[in-house]
Amino acid sequence: MTFAKPFSASEFTPVAPIPAQSVAAAVAQVNDPEKRRLIWYLHWVSHQPGGLCAFAAEMLEIIVPDRLGTSTMRKAGVGAGITYSGATYDQICHEIDHHEHPAESDLRQNLEMLIDGWRPSAAGEIARVKSALEPKNRRATCVDLLNICHGRCYFLPEKLRKLCLDPGAAWEADYFVGFMDVFREVLKRREKAATQRYAATRIAGYVHDAMSFAYRNRSLAVIHGTERLGKSVATRLWQETNAGCARLIDLTAATTDILFYQELFKALGCGEVRRGDANELRAGIRAAVETRDLMLIFDEAHCLFGLSARASIKRLEYIRTEFVNRGIPIVLVVTPQFSERLREMERTTGFNTNQFRGRITKWAELPKKPSRADVECVCRHLIPGLSDETASLLVDCAVSADTPMAALNNAVLEARMLAEKRDLPITHPDVIRTAIGYSLATRQMLEASIPAPQPAARRGRGVPVSRPAVPASDTPEILDAARVQAPRIAVAKEVPAQPRNRGQAPICVA
């Protein structure tokens, strides 16, 4: 059989991103947990490059030609040379809403009316209706009907959009069979493609375990680790493969609260960010998470305190009261700056953070440095086909640095540029050795020009900060709140006489 090829994403009429508030209103009326996740996944897809048109194009790659056609066509058989006629043809036309010829039932009803009210002038009309009732005059080939079904596929992006906004919409299509099976197959392909873009390190496993814990228990989890460990990469992978139940908020150094709300508003897919007051933005955010289907992941969470010398507790308290207290799962991905800013905020304002600390159900402490196995895993992912000797050189260069992943990334960037400049494969030993030399030189000049900051001396007489014991790089276990307490926060002795949250113990961290 030959018929039109599947549509590409660019051939569809563009479909606008769907506001999260509208999706939440529709999802609230859906009881099936799987369909709720699929609807939120489609909402996330609508805000990605290509949107629902790209998703529809991937579905058509599976639909055409193996699933194209109505259920009646599939039962009667699909193939070149097949012709449908009579009642089978009528049923197919009814399924795809195709009315090239009147249905047999309509023709017979019309014939009866003509005979009952017979008059000489009706003789020609009766002959025409009788002729239309003959099977030879009411038929179509399989290929012709398949092309009609293929034309209906042009409206597939609109069908996907309708599923997000109409809780009563049917999860099936008349012009191809197995809608849900095709949908799930596209999800599997996308999940596989996402996992292939990232290296499967042990640190990524720690991050994913903590996020799964927070989602299943609808609680607050904190993932704590030094910079340049690969936390953000692992976080992005988990969110992409669980887009039906999580949203990632990449925090920036927003200088005002309204900019913070705008970032959250945009990350949740609430629509175009317009100038408005904070109350309007908060109302849109609340409407989007009202169903409690989504977990919110805040990367670079130390930015919650702002960049001013005096840390602000407003945004952290907003997350606690607006999300955590209402049973919305939250994950904060933080560096040691988070604890330092929290300690500074307590010291300068006297604010009691026991309410926040008491809601942390999991504190995932990551290793200070990635293991050699993790570095090698990332190395072979970035440059496939490296020989054992060449890979060992790159790994040795990386693990000797304070931040191995950053050092490895720099060396790989140098290797890519050198390979392009010298017209050699990136796996060539000479390319790798030269790239390592450049990378080491950059590291030495950086350390000489911008020395690493030393820990600042603490003012006041506070309780020393004690963090949970960090697992060794090769230890496969991840620390959680059931086995390890969260960091003890140092507090200066000089506490204001009237703390902001009156009535609670001033500063007491167990």
Per-residue tokens: 81 = 């040379």
* Residue 508 pLDDT: 33
* Least trusted range by pLDDT, from 37-41, 85-89, 195-199: 85-89
Question: Cβ distance 464 to 485 under 8 Å?
Answer: no
Q: How confident is the model at residue 409 (pLDDT cuts 50, 70, 90)?
A: very high
* Residue 253 pLDDT: 74
What's the angle, vertex CA 364, arms to CA 199 and CA 315, rounded to 5? 105
* Residue 111 pLDDT: 58
- Is the pLDDT reported for residue 251 higher than 50? yes
Phi and psi dihedrals of 297, rounded to 5? -115, 120
> How far apart, in whole angstroms, are the C-alpha atoms of residue 467 and residue 486?
7
Which string of DSSP letters, residue by residue, matches 347-370?
HHH----HHHHTTEEEEEEPPSS-
* Residue 39 pLDDT: 97
**In 226-328, alpha helices (H):** 231-241, 257-267, 278-288, 314-322
* Residue 167 pLDDT: 92
Q: How confident is the model at residue 130 (pLDDT cuts 50, 70, 90)?
A: low
| β-pair partners for 85 | 139
Per-residue tokens: 266 = 């945009």
* Residue 509 pLDDT: 31
Stated pTM of the model = 0.79
Calculate mean pLDDT across residues 229-250. 94
* Least trusted range by pLDDT, from 174-183, 190-199, 399-408, 453-462: 453-462
If DSSP states are collapsed to H, E and C, what string results for 170-239? CCCCCCECCHHHHHHHHHHHHHHHHHHCCCCCHHHHHHHHHHHHHHHHCCEEEEECCCCCCHHHHHHHHH
| β-pair partners for 363 | 222
Q: Higher pLDDT residue, 140 or 135?
A: 140
What's the angle, vertex CA 438, arms to CA 442 and CA 379, rounded to 5? 100
Q: How confident is the model at residue 122 (pLDDT cuts 50, 70, 90)?
A: low
- Is the pLDDT reported for residue 107 higher than 60? no
H or E element at residue 413: helix 404-422
* Residue 305 pLDDT: 86
Q: How confident is the model at residue 119 (pLDDT cuts 50, 70, 90)?
A: low
- Is the pLDDT reported for residue 477 higher than 60? no
- Burial class for 229, CB neighbours closer than 10 Å (0-12, 13-18, 19+): buried
> How far apart, in whole angstroms, are the C-alpha atoms of residue 354 and residue 366?
23
pLDDT over 90 percentage in the chain: 50
| β-pair partners for 84 | 140
* Residue 504 pLDDT: 40
> How far apart, in whole angstroms, are the C-alpha atoms of residue 189 and residue 193?
6
> What are the pLDDT digits (tens) for 427-470?
999 999 999 999 999 988 988 888 776 655 544 433 333 343 33
- Is the pLDDT reported for residue 321 higher than 60? yes
* Least trusted range by pLDDT, from 57-71, 312-326, 488-502: 488-502
Q: How confident is the model at residue 483 (pLDDT cuts 50, 70, 90)?
A: very low
Calculate mean pLDDT across residues 51-75. 89
Calculate mean pLDDT across residues 473-487. 36
From residue 183, give the alpha-carbon distance in Å to each of 49, 75, 227, 235: 19, 22, 38, 25
Phi and psi dihedrals of 173, rounded to 5? -135, 145
The three-state secondary structure class of 16 is coil
* Least trusted range by pLDDT, from 85-99, 115-129, 265-279, 402-416: 115-129
* Residue 451 pLDDT: 79
| Residues 377-390 as b or e (16 or more Cβ within 10 Å = b) | bbbeebbeebeeeb
Region 202-365: CATH code:
3.40.50.300
Sheet holding 330-334, edge to edge: 246-250, 295-299, 330-334, 220-224, 360-365
Nearest to 319 by CA among 281, 381, 371, 264: 264
Q: What is the mean pLDDT of the chain?
A: 81
- Burial class for 230, CB neighbours closer than 10 Å (0-12, 13-18, 19+): buried
- Is the pLDDT reported for residue 86 higher than 60? yes
Question: Cβ distance 491 to 463 under 8 Å?
Answer: yes
* Residue 124 pLDDT: 62
> How far apart, in whole angstroms, are the C-alpha atoms of residue 248 and residue 264?
9
The alpha carbon torsion through 252, 197, 11, 67 (nearest 10 deg) reads: -130
> What are the pLDDT digits (tens) for 191-228?
999 999 999 999 999 999 999 999 999 999 999 999 98
Residues 6+ apart with CB under 8 A from 392: none
| β-pair partners for 128 | none
